[in-house]
Structure 1
């Protein structure tokens, strides 16, 4: 007997990232090959024609797990009874736009969506915020979804950065992706993020070793490696003239897959979650940490007891400062907005 369908919401569903994302969800890559789905696709009214086109394509894929596709342009309708939500739609930064203007525009979106979650979604809903600035958007969403939706059920995506860092280490060490585990992305999904491999393990030559030994180039690990991961999105935009939609969609799927099924033993992943005070990060800040996830409870825990040297502490301080500034600007915008 098949399980009951999961109701999964994707916002910004007519956009570029979602064009890759919705197929991966509907095909079983995220929730498993025996889990039926109802896919709710939300976008703004002016995108309704494009949204209809996405629906037609999903129907034409003839996917056995996809029991229903529901295109909507009404936020209240979209969030009703959802089990999982991929919040991809956000105001993109346009040429000449100040950061405060971007934050103010996104505050309106995620304040409204937080309220819609509180009003209509299940209390157990798990939420990933993909739309940038993702950490701060998730912070605002969590603020307005509470208390019905626990802040622990809302996260922001740093899995793309995690995947990028893993791939860079694998290439430099001359191994495959499966041979690298436990890289860490600390902090904000921005240019201040800290890709950290001090605690990562690499399977090389049949035995596990630390990433520094496997790579054998400390200067690269503390310099070019960090810069490559931090700037990868901009480099892809320069090359494609479009954003990194395919890899972002894959990362969002990885994030929710691991939240749904749990992480393997002795393995952690990077998620931006509300801090509990770990590693000196003030409580409530939406900060990327290494986490493990229990398969039975679907609950995450921040990995504890990792040593933070002076180099790493400086990086953590910088990304924390940026997140605190973003939070404060976003909260001021919340007070000024009329929604």
Structure 2
């Protein structure tokens, strides 16, 4: 360790060398990150996570663009004020606006949380119609204003079909750059297995969530493994209870969002924000070797899933690109569950296209 006097002399000769000796991190050039629906609960939870480096890494400064509807302008300004007050070292600026063109201007990453929420008595078709209009408008801003190769995560429900509409209305944006959030379901599945086995959640990997971010999704533990004191073993072997894996585990993950609402009288916010950070971090920075995650991506026909829908697959990521994991065995039970979710997405697509030209 060099003494303070030596460091001071070095600083007078070469400030850059001093920074290297102190192991100060080299920061990248700032990037622009958009969060829509930023005055809502998930948006409020995620903005500080992003500005603390939980999404893009501790060496990546960010300029946050936060968007919400005009009637939420005061709350949105409150979010902006709190971001300033938090004195976050990676935060290089905040653009708070209700104007979509301004919000999307030059953004490198977009997390689309804003959407029309489902209300009591609302039919699914009505919900889809409301969100088609929202994502038609946002798609136009994305295509015209965002930076080239902007990567987009759709969180707002119905997430898979909202992502499809974004793609439909922004044809110049590559389909591979648009994804939707099923990482929350993936994380829920990891959590349930970890609790069942009494291990840390970090010791469980390679569950799969197939399909729609809805109650038809299929959480699949048949390819998962867990590390124990005896080494890494298949979850199916460690649980040794096929009934639990096919019934209680699946239904618990499928209904977890409803259970959270019942418990806290509000929808999942903290876990959704955390999952969105996980999704983007792995997409941009890469998945750990030997590990896959679940992402809603545009189907290429893998595993017999129809093309032309956004469907949750197991994926690995490297250098900012995702790839669907190939060659996993799908038994008859899994096939039936996967097809059920694909059929629901096909129905949603048909409903959505009724409103494309309106």
TM-score calculated relative to the size of structure 2: 0.92
Match of 2:338 in 1: 316
Match of 2:287 in 1: 263
- Whole-Å separation in 2 of the counterparts to 1:35 and 1:277: 35
> Is residue 2:137 matched to residue 1:112?
yes
> Is residue 2:312 matched to residue 1:288?
yes
> Is residue 2:301 matched to residue 1:277?
yes
The offset of 1:116, in angstroms, is 1.1
**Aligned residues of 1:143 and 1:151 also touching (Cα < 8 A):** no
- Whole-Å separation in 2 of the counterparts to 1:289 and 1:238: 29
> Is residue 2:328 matched to residue 1:306?
yes
**Aligned residues of 1:194 and 1:315 also touching (Cα < 8 A):** yes
**Aligned residues of 1:110 and 1:137 also touching (Cα < 8 A):** yes
Written as runs of structure 1 = structure 2, the 5 A alignment for 1:1-339 is: 2-147=27-172, 149-294=173-318, 296=319, 298-335=320-357, 337=358
RMSD (CA atoms)? 0.8
Unaligned 5+ segments in structure 1 are none
Aligned residue pairs total 333
- Whole-Å separation in 1 of the counterparts to 2:44 and 2:230: 39
**Aligned residues of 2:284 and 2:321 also touching (Cα < 8 A):** no
- Whole-Å separation in 1 of the counterparts to 2:36 and 2:170: 16
Unaligned 5+ segments in structure 2 are 1-25
**Aligned residues of 1:80 and 1:121 also touching (Cα < 8 A):** yes
**Aligned residues of 1:204 and 1:214 also touching (Cα < 8 A):** no
Q: Secondary structure at the match of 1:333?
A: coil
- Whole-Å separation in 2 of the counterparts to 1:313 and 1:208: 27
The offset of 1:17, in angstroms, is 0.6
The offset of 1:206, in angstroms, is 3.2
- Whole-Å separation in 1 of the counterparts to 2:229 and 2:87: 44
TM-score calculated relative to the size of structure 1: 0.97
- Runs (4+) of structure 1 exceeding 2 A deviation are none
- Whole-Å separation in 2 of the counterparts to 1:206 and 1:285: 41
